[in-house]
Structure 1
Amino acid sequence: MSRSPAGADPATPYLRVDVARLRANLERTARWAADAGVALRPHAKTHKCLEVARLQLDTGAAGLTVATIGEAEVFVDAGVEDVFIAYPLWLTDQAAARLRDLAGRADLAIGVDSAEAAARAARLLEGSGVAALMEVDSGQHRSGVAPETAGQLAVAAVEAGLPVRGVFTFPGHSYAPAALRTAADDEARALRVATASFRAAGLEPDVVSGGSTPSLEHTHTEELTELRPGVYAFGDAQQWELGTMEPADLALVCRATVVSHAGGRIVLDAGSKALGADRASYATGWGRLPAYADARVVQLSEHHAVVDLADAPLPALGTYVDVVPNHVCAAVNLADTLWAETGGGLEAWSVAARGRNS
Structure 2
Amino acid sequence: MTETTPPPPADPRPARTGPATGGGLPAARLAELDRAPVEARSLPDSPTTVERVRAAELHLSDLWLPAVTLDEAALTHNLDRFARWCAERGVDLAPHAKTTMAPGLWSAQLERGAWGLTAATVAQARVMRRFGVPRVLIANEVVEPEQLAWLAEALDDPGFDPLCLVDSTAGVRLMEHALAGAARPLPVLVELGVAGRRTGVRDMGQALSLARSVAASPALTLVGVEAFEGVFPQRRDDDSPDRVRAWLDRLYDFARRADAEGLFDGAVEVIVTAGGSSYPDLVSDALAEPPELSRPIRRIVRSGCYLAHDDLFMERASPLRSAADDDPLRPALSCHARVLSRPEPGRALLGVGKRDVSFDVDLPVPRAVLRDGERIPLTDRARVVELNDHHAFLDLSGPAEEALRVGDVVELGLSHACTVFDKWPLIPVLDGEGRVVDAVRTLF
- Normalized against structure 2, the TM-score is what? 0.72
In structure 2, what is the equivalent of residue 231 of structure 1? 305
Listed as ranges, the gaps of 5+ residues in structure 1 are: none
User: Where do 1:189-268 residues align within 5 Å?
Assistant: 189-204=249-264, 206-219=270-283, 220=285, 221-222=287-288, 225-236=299-310, 237-242=312-317, 244=319, 245-246=321-322, 249-263=330-344, 264-268=346-350
Using the TM superposition, give the Cα deviation of residue 147 of structure 1 relative to its aligned residue in structure 2, in angstroms.
4.7
Separation in 2 of the partners of 1:293 and 1:165? 50
Q: CA offset at residue 243 of structure 1?
A: 6.5
Give the direction of change, closer, same or farther, for the CA distance of 1:199–1:297 in structure 2 (3 Å limit).
Answer: same
* Structure with larger Rg: 2
Letter in 2 for 1:345: V
Asked if the contact 1:138/1:169 (under 8 Å) is kept, the reply is no
Q: In the alignment, does 2:234 pair up with 1:145?
A: no
* 1:330 alignment partner in structure 2: 419
Q: Residue type of the partner of 1:142? A: R
Cα displacement (A) at 1:234? 0.7
**Which digits, 9 at most, give the CA deviation of each residue in 1:237-265, with x for residues without a partner?**
21124465349711112222221223322
Q: 2:30 maps to what in 1?
A: none
1:85 partner letter: I
Give the secondary-structure state (helix, strand or coil) at the position aligned to 2:356: helix
Q: Does structure 1 residue 171 correspond to structure 2 residue 260?
A: no
Distance 2:313 2:430 in 1: 23
Where does structure 2 lack aligned partners over 5 or more consecutive residues? 1-49, 291-297, 323-327, 369-377
CA pair 111-342 structure 1, distance change in 2 beyond 3 A: farther
The C-alpha deviation readout for 1:261-303, integer Å capped at 9, x for no partner, is 2332222211111113303xxx5xx122333332431111111
Q: Is the 8 A contact 2:72 2:430 kept in 1?
A: yes
| Match for residue 42 of structure 1 among 88, 95, 99 | 95
Q: 1:143 to 1:179 in 2, by over 3 A?
A: farther
Tell whether the 8 Å contact from 1:147 to 1:194 is kept in structure 2 after alignment: no
CA contact 1:150–1:198 (8 Å) conserved in 2: no
Q: In structure 2, what is the Cα distance between the partners aligned to 1:180 and 1:319?
A: 42
Matched, 1:120 2:174: yes
Whole-angstrom distance in 1 between the partners of 2:195 and 2:331: 28
For these two proteins, the number of residue pairs brought into alignment is 347
* CA distance in structure 2 between the partners assigned to 1:167 and 1:73 by the alignment: 23
Identity %: 28
Q: CA deviation at 1:318?
A: 2.1
**2:409 alignment partner AA:** Y
Match of 2:391 among 304, 327, 341: 304
Map of 2:356 onto structure 1? 274
1:335 is paired with a residue whose SS is coil
Aligned match for 2:241, one of 181, 190, 208: 181
Evaluate the alpha carbon distance shift between residue 91 and residue 36 of structure 1 in structure 2; reply closer, same or farther with a 3 A threshold.
same
The secondary structure found in structure 2 opposite 1:88 is coil
- Relative distance call for 1:155 and 1:321 in structure 2 (3 A) is same
Q: Which of 158, 173, 198 is equivalent to 2:215?
A: 158
Cα gap change, 1:143 to 1:329, in 2 (>3 Å): same
The answer to whether structure 1 residue 87 and structure 2 residue 164 are counterparts is no
Larger RCO (alpha carbons 8 Å, 6+ apart): 1
2-side partners of 1:312 and 1:102: how far apart? 60
- Counterpart in the other structure of 2:14: none
CA gap 1:319/1:326 in 2 versus in 1, 3 angstroms:
same
Contact 1:180/1:214 (<8 A) preserved: no
- Go from structure 1 to structure 2 and tell me whether the alpha carbon gap of 1:200 and 1:27 turns closer, same or farther (over 3 Å shift): same
1:139 and 1:183 in contact (8 A); partners too: no
The whole-number CA distance in structure 1 between the counterparts of 2:431 and 2:57 is 14
What does residue 22 of structure 1 align with?
Answer: 75
Per the normalisation by structure 1, the TM-score is: 0.89
| Preserved contact between residue 211 and residue 227 of structure 1 (Cα < 8 Å) | yes
For the aligned residue pairs, the C-alpha RMSD in angstroms reads 2.3
Q: What do residues 71-110 of structure 1 show as CA deviations (whole Å, max 9, x unaligned)? A: 1111211111111111122231x11222233332411101
Are 1:287 and 2:364 matched, yes or no?
yes
